[in-house]
Structure 1
Amino acid sequence: TAAVLSMSLAPFMIKFNGKITKFIHKDSYSNNHQGIENTIIEESKYLSDHVILCGFGRVGQTVERFLHKANHPFVVLDMDIKRVHEAHNAGEAVYYGDAAKQSILMAAEINKAKVMIITFSDFHATLKIIKTTRRLNKDIPILVRTLDDSHLNELFEEGATEVIPDTFESSIMLASHLLLMIGQPPSRVLRQTRQIRQDRYKILENFYPGEDDNPMEQHQVMKGIIHSVLVEGSMYAIGHRLEDLDLESYNVKVEAIKRGHVRGENPSGETRIRDDDHIVLSGLIEDIERAEKYLITG
């Protein structure tokens, strides 16, 4: 019975553990919290144009080392007590504090900071930090690291200035090294990678799905897929021009048309569809399914 009761209470305890702790240890919690704020205030009061670095895991520590080398002032906020203790004892400007709390950000001189960077991958925690930051400082650039692009729009809508997905950046880095190895000029490689980032990774959004890919999971992680539709027999699309088919109204893009052994990228609207053409579409799975049905039956 005790085991069953503890299992049933577990979700409640996890959800409200912070509030329960505050209630049971009201005085000590208040004092400790104030002490944390005072420490951050004392260490940050002379800072200006500094970076507020949220999260001190592997990514956060890597960023911090670059800031050290650049000799740029910063303050780090993290919620892992052991990590903060180790780093602080080693002389690092790392403090225990919830960056989603207004009082902690004010203690870190959010209104005098130059940039905020959020380096952990917890989407909901990141969203809270962005919202709190924007209430206090509407203009500060907020740089956000994510695992993938599944929440890009939400993060931008709440006030993120730039969002860097791990999956895309690792792919860009790998491709950049490859291009340099095959003899591409560094200036061209730099220009290409810069353009991809300026376009917010649009070129990397859609992928060919494999047998092991879960469609629902892919839908959440990626913007969409790439799918080739073979036009043959008595399909509606045969004989029509692309502009007349108006596939954009289905929220899909015609990436290419493969005719025989020739693939034509970004075909013009004047292109007339022939029997045995492959129309290469990109978009969300459900939109591609609707567009394919239209190409078949009209």
Structure 2
Amino acid sequence: MVRVARSLNPRIHIIARTRYVTEIPELSRLGADVVIPEEFETSIEIFARVLAHYSVPRSEIERLVDQIRSSHYEALRSGDGAGRLSLGAVAGIPQMAVERLRLPSHSPLVGRTLAATGLRTQTGALVLAVGRGGDEIPTPGPQFRLSADDVLVVVGQPAQLRAAALLVAGKGVAPAPQ
């Protein structure tokens, strides 16, 4: 569809929506000017609301959201840390960052719901999305059950992210059984 539209009108501005981030490069190659993946848009909205809650100026929030989108959501999907989004320069939020934490099979969080893990209450880190297999689950609810090898996309200050990493690795305070 994108290729046909571009061939019919080379000057048309094409905005494409896709379910998966992995389709962005192909749609761009075919001629889409903007590709919006629904996988991460909900996570970005939550991220923006977290920043607003911490009184970050709207202009800074918009700049950061634009940065995420212009990088094709790399900050939310990079597994090697290269996509880390540093928010240290944002007024009101000292050194906030987004990180991806892989859930090892031995983690006490495996098989638990997000609510039962105590991740938010014990560490202060907020789960924006969960990667499972090749899929990204944006804004998982409190009843979302974690599995081994899930990749949690979390936002928080450095100490919160360190505490979350310890909890995920099974080296922090384990949640009560449920």
TM-score scaled by length of structure 1:
0.30
Q: RCO (CA 8 Å, sep 6+): is it higher in 1 or 2?
A: 2
Q: Answer with 1 or 2: which has the greater Rg.
A: 1
- TM-score scaled by length of structure 2: 0.47
